[in-house]
Amino acid sequence: MNYRKYALLAVVLLFSVSAYAQKFEGLAETPAMGWNSWNKFAGNITEDLIKGVADAIVESGLRDAGYIYVNLDDCWHGERDSLGFIQCDPVRFPSGIKALADYMHERGLKLGIYSDAGWKTCAGRPGSVGHEFQDALQYAKWGVDYLKYDWCDTPNINAKGAYKLMSEALRAAGRPIYFSMCEWGTARPWEWASEIAHSWRTTGDIWHCFDCGRGEKPNYAHSVMAILDMQEGLRKYAGPGHWNDPDMLEVGNGLSESEDRAHFTMWCMLAASLILGNDVRDMPQAIKEVIMNKEVIAIDQDKEGIQGLRFMRTDDGLEFWFKPLVNGEWAFCILNRATEDRTYDIDWQNFNLYDDVAKRFTDFDSKTYKIRNLWTKKDDGDTKKSRVVTIPAHDVLLYRLTPTKK
């Protein structure tokens, strides 16, 4: 196939898929779970590293807990061949991406890859602009299952058009691939991307600071709590098949144990993708207990697919969150953003609320809920009476509330 014939084929494919929904359905009924190379390793990735991560995900039980995507971020790229098809770096990935995808699939995992809607990726590798259909065909040929599509080096490029084009290219290539838009929220993708992508970034990059200024980091990098605040008003746009993405997890990358627990909990309350970014080959037990707590993961993966609601906050740093769950249940979380422990008297009658996204009342005045503490993994009475609790600094209390039968 020469380049002119390929270009003609791309045009035909573009118009042939226009009558269909762009993204593949059924790939994101609950938020994605997996691992990405960037937060820990940045561009220093190799075939052996990724294989080692995959082996650790299987051996540690992370795969069985739901973490199935193993995603290459920036710097896997080599050059384009004479026809314009992207190749991998032959030194870093000598066996090729197809072999790496096969390695994942043999272990019950899925392979993710990275590209950019601009001329160059954020690390200066070849972007996909002008090669969208070629790149999608290459990914499908290799057996890729997930695409993170970034937004660097995009002068005079329309975001909506660029992401729609890649979505159509993936569809035309024929292999179901999860499409993760990484546009940083600048063009308000939550308002238009639900038909073309499975998730969309709502902010710039996260970095491993719980609640602080940007320091030496560039302006696009935000702390965990800053990103949490940026989700205000976005919950109505999320749901099964289309998710707000507040960026990857920094659990295990230098936060305290309590901050890791709070970070993970709040991403679950947000119904966010749970994409790990730590070195899973060498994890302390405390990190394993956070990211492998299946009862907390179940809050994120709840089939209702409703993002959590920040109901109330206090002047001393406490926030009160609710997330509607299946069967009339609720997740209830108290987040302590203060640097000191806080004690609070929970009077459930103060939390009678109506969630206009879930179309549901909590009804504490007429219903009794059983309480399950998801971090202690213990049943903790019910909501008939108020209770005094202490929430440590930069930590959370997380309950699952289940209606009792009358």
Select from 185, 34, 188, 190 the least CA-distant residue to 114: 34
> How far apart are the C-alpha atoms of 89 and 86, rounded to whole Å?
10
Cα–Cα separations (whole angstroms), residue 368 to 108, 358, 365: 42, 19, 8
* Helices (runs of H) and strands (runs of E) counted in the chain: 11, 20
Contact between residue 117 and residue 37 where contact means Cβ atoms under 8 Å apart: no
Q: Assign residue 130 a region: left if phi > 0, alpha if psi is -120 to 50, beta otherwise?
A: left
Cα–Cα separations (whole angstroms), residue 280 to 38, 47, 217, 284, 318: 13, 16, 25, 9, 32
Amino acid sitting at position 201? R
Beta strands per DSSP E along 246-382: 274-276, 309-313, 318-324, 330-336, 342-346, 354-355, 360-361, 369-373, 378-382
Q: Is 150 a catalytic residue?
A: yes
Q: Is 81 a catalytic residue?
A: no
Q: Pick the catalytic residue from 135, 205, 355, 395.
A: 205
Q: Pick the catalytic residue from 150, 260, 355, 395.
A: 150
Angle between helices 3-16 and 132-142 (to 10 degrees): 90
Catalytic site residues?
A: 150, 205
